[in-house]
Structure 1
């Protein structure tokens, strides 16, 4: 068996097709035919199904929009080395092999010539240490967990819908669904925070008193603190709908998810901030290759900010909700002006590369 065959079979067995496509800069990576076919868009293309790789040991591949047929090596040759003819792809085969083996750390298959070339061009004496640190960091992120609180804690806050939010349009039914209560000691409307498994990990409070300093600087605080950066608020409720719709709407604040849920958009989750952590990025990737992501940030985040934030989630189909018609004001969330405005923004979302 040739090295090329061994490499293809190893990529298949180790389930690294999506990793290769992501490293090539492809977008909208997903599967079809019950996982038997990987599809993606070319880095500079508009067709989400242009690149197709069969999930078999041979890794038979096509770039449909360019009329290219071959294997995963031909996909690499076209994207990285602009090999748009069969002759050019044959000529760049060694470079494509080297690139793949280097990316996937299949170093035993790299030709001696290219080994020497790589060592001369990029001497990295501490490369092993950097990789070890990256691996440890990822393991730490994946193993981090919040302390689980007893559900009995909620009894001291009760189930007390807030009239002010009701007058704004947040129904009593929705407030009960999200566990809205009250902490009379701190003049705060409360609501529970759960992890991805639906376990209670914190209580958040929104100030409703008449002290302007507290209202300005401490509007929201955690009465029972938790590490919000390793979870998405509302993920436990949204997950079944995300899996069904193959779509996740990512917003900044928990209250935005309440309105979206009330309006039928139950596939929504909140960062609880304006920038995703590394753990949150890992969580998004676990939702599946075929899930598309809609980033609907507040008005004060411009298109450049949202695009850069979304670009950190590599290899997935991404859209941004941008207010290009002046429908929102200043720091409005995308739900602050009502259901009709939200639906207009959602229907006119833009693809992010």
Structure 2
């Protein structure tokens, strides 16, 4: 059973909150003039009654060192961290459920402040348990990179990807085939594949715009379902910020590098699919927020085409919903053109879409 974080949080009584806070090490609560509960500051290990709980909003606020607001799950994670134990977001949900006895299973929802994107979710499939796969990625000799020209191509410079970023991700040029070279590395930095972007119009017209490189009778391909582009460079930001933005293509990761530098928490799946392995890899890094930033594949956001595409994206959201807060970037305002990535129109547009994101609720009966 997958737990519904919203149902559990909304059902918590003040007695439940007191039970949880006492278990986290707080002293007995006091009350303010409006009868709000006031606990000792377990969020940072203090001893003053400065941690207020507001039952109406189900939120805490620390009026001393933290000066932050928390929901119950964020507070549990922060308090446990003070005690030397790191909990994932889903472990925090389990902790609250086990302590209070409220094991509500989840229903599928997509929420926004004023409207729902799609109202009928009966199409959602139930996943069956599968054996875990231990993938073996190829490991290529990095000497192959010596045959390329290690200079950025003007096409991507014109698109706003800097020389520094292309150098950092080892983007090169293969003069013989007239292709931009995009090496792929594992999370540990091993060369596992080499993809390329065609510059010849005949290759693009033939459907060979992006494809693995074939060099001296060897195809430098790899199973993209077992690797995430850019993760070897962005993993530290992902672990530090506890969030990840998942794009389709490599260029989006490169653009985010120019937008955010050391705070770049993006990766690319290099396909139109998110695998269970992708999910498990990211969750293992402590991710608590997931942003699905897939390309725009519809002209009209109210069309049947958009509806079918939304179903596909929601299936990806299902994979993460039991473990993290999941958001979908969905363009209803014509900020993007057809086939655009949310990162293609600049930082301002990307951040606008981030602010207008949809949150996806937990999904019931999803096998882990």
> If the TM-score is normalised by the length of the shorter chain, which range does it land in?
0.5 to 0.7
Task: Determine helix, strand or coil for the equivalent of 1:75.
Answer: coil
Q: Write the distance in 1 (CA, Å) between the matches of 2:151 and 2:7.
A: 43
1:26 positional shift: 3.0
CA apart distance, 1:73: 6.5
- The structure 1 residue matched to 2:158, chosen from 158, 163, 167, is 167
Check whether the contact 1:263–1:339 (CA below 8 A) recurs between aligned residues. Answer: yes
Verify: 1:246 aligned to 2:242, yes or no: yes
Distance 1:169 1:284 in 2: 28
Q: Are 2:365 and 1:347 equivalent residues in the alignment?
A: no
Q: Distance in 1 between matches of 2:354 and 2:172?
A: 31
| TM-score (normalised: structure 2) | 0.61
1:328 pairs with 2:336: yes
| 1:24 aligned onto 2:3 | yes
Distance in 2 (CA, whole Å) between partners of 1:157 and 1:70 is 56
Which residue of the partner structure matches residue 138 of structure 2? Answer: 147
The question of 1:297 aligning with 2:294 is answered yes
Structure exhibiting the larger radius of gyration computed from Cα positions? 1
Q: In structure 2, how many angstroms separate the alpha carbons of the residues matched to 1:286 and 1:71?
A: 23
Quote the Cα distance in structure 1 between the aligned partners of 2:100 and 2:327: 30
> Cα distance 1:296–1:324, how it changes in 2: closer, same or farther (>3 A)?
same
What does residue 71 of structure 2 align with? Answer: 49
Equivalent runs, 1:311-322 vs 2, <5 Å: 311-313=318-320, 314-322=322-330
Structure number with the higher helix fraction is: 1
Contact 1:250 1:295 in 2 (8 A): yes
| Equivalent pair of 1:28/1:315 in contact (CA under 8 Å) | no
For 1:228, which of 224, 231, 234 is the aligned residue?
A: 224
Q: Give the whole-Å Cα distance in 2 for the aligned partners of 1:244 and 1:309.
A: 24
Identify unmatched segments of 5+ residues in structure 2: 9-23, 25-41, 45-56, 60-69, 84-95, 106-127, 214-219, 298-305, 362-368
RMSD of Structure 2 on Structure 1 (CA):
3.1
For residue 74 of structure 1, what is the aligned residue in structure 2?
A: 101
1:285 is aligned, of 280, 283, 286, to 283
- Per-residue deviation at 1:315? 2.6
1:72 is displaced (CA, Å) by 3.8
- Aligned residue for 2:269? 271
C-alpha contact 1:28 1:318 (8 A) present in aligned 2: no
- Cα distance change of structure 1 residues 33 and 181 upon mapping to structure 2, 3 Å threshold: same
Change (3 A) 1:216 1:262: farther
Q: Is the 8 A contact 2:317 2:360 kept in 1?
A: yes
Larger relative contact order (CA 8 Å, sep ≥ 6) = 2
Residue 285 of structure 2 corresponds to residue 306 of structure 1 = no
User: SS where residue 4 of structure 2 aligns?
Assistant: coil
CA shift for structure 1 position 164: 1.2
1:282 and 1:268 map into 2 onto residues whose CA distance is: 16
Displacement, 1:285? 2.0
Work out the number of aligned pairs and report it: 249
Task: Work out the CA distance in 2 between the residues paired with 1:27 and 1:147.
Answer: 42
- Of residues 294-303 and 200-209 in structure 1, the stretch that sits farther from structure 2 once superposed is 294-303
Tell me the distance in 2 between the aligned counterparts of 1:71 and 1:181: 53
Give 1:181's aligned residue: 172
Structure 1 gaps, min length 5: 1-21, 35-44, 57-68, 81-129
In 1: Cα distance, 2:170 partner to 2:280 partner: 28
Query: What is the TM-score of this pair, normalised by structure 1?
Result: 0.63
Partners of 1:240 and 1:315 lie apart in 2 by 20
CA shift for structure 1 position 204: 0.9
